[in-house]
Amino acid sequence: MADKALKGMSNLLRLLPTGTVFMFQVLNPLFTSNGHCHTVNKVFTGLLLVFCAFSCCFSCFTDSYVGSDGVVHYGIATLTGLWPSPASDSVNLSSYKIRFGDFVHAFWTLIVFAVVSLLDPNTMNCYYPSFVIGEKVLVMILPPVVGFLASLVFFCFPRKRHGIGNPAT
């Protein structure tokens, strides 16, 4: 029972790039000046949002494998397989090519990150301060709804990729 629970938690952690979300949570108060933005803060916060969103999507197209040298190697999924592939003598890297599910995961990972980042109090105070006062119901309801929908989609399209930083099987 405990093994199944830990395996489920491991799969959940692989679905969303927690390092990117953690980086956003650490840097966002600095870039937004705790929600008291000026033009420079808005530009840097926008760049942070774009960078983190790209990182979330990009991570859906990374994978790892154990090469012929016995070491774990990481690569980017392409239409023909995994790239770069320095130690792939004994591994068929064509099985790592991009699939439809990768785009589904990238889209929903981006949606979840957008909800987390755009409904962050510092981001809201920076970009749309009048929204903070008026629409608390949306802020309370939207994250669980998007989380449920993303979980449903991730259940229907299970992720086969290990990504960077996750152990290869």
Whether residue 81 is predicted with pLDDT greater than 80 in this model: the reply is yes
Q: Is 80 exceeded by the pLDDT of residue 7? A: no
Output 68 or 123, whichever has higher pLDDT.
Answer: 123
Taking residues 10-28, what's their average pLDDT? Answer: 78
Per-residue confidence band for 168, with pLDDT thresholds at 50, 70 and 90: low
pLDDT of residue 151: 83
Please identify which residue in the block is written with the tokens 């859906």.
60
Dist CA 98 CA 120 (whole Å): 32
User: Does residue 92 or residue 42 have the better pLDDT?
Assistant: 42
| The token pair that represents 108 in the structure block | 């929903």
pLDDT, tens digit (0-9, with 9 covering 90-100), for 23-56: 999 999 999 999 888 999 999 999 999 999 999 8
DSSP for 68-128, written as a single string: TTS-EEEEEE-SSSEE--TT-TTS-GGGG---HHHHHHHHHHHHHHHHHHHTSHHHHHHH-
pLDDT at 167 over 80: no
CA dist 135 to 116, 130, 131, 140, 147, Å? Answer: 16, 9, 6, 9, 19
In this predicted structure, the answer to whether residue 124 has a pLDDT above a threshold of 60 is yes
| Cβ density class 129-168: b for 16+ within 10 Å, e for less | eeeeeeeeeeeeeeeeebeeebeebbeebebebbbeebee
111 or 137: which leads in pLDDT: 111
Closest CA relative to residue 62, chosen from 113, 21, 105, 8: 105
- Of the chain, the percentage scoring pLDDT greater than 90 comes to 28
Question: Cβ contacts of residue 75 below 8 Å, gap of 6+?
Answer: 62, 63, 64, 65, 82, 83, 84, 85, 93, 96
Question: What pTM was computed for the model?
Answer: 0.82
Residue appearing with tokens 């989609």: 153
Measured in degrees and rounded to the nearest 5, phi and psi for residue 81 equal 155, -155
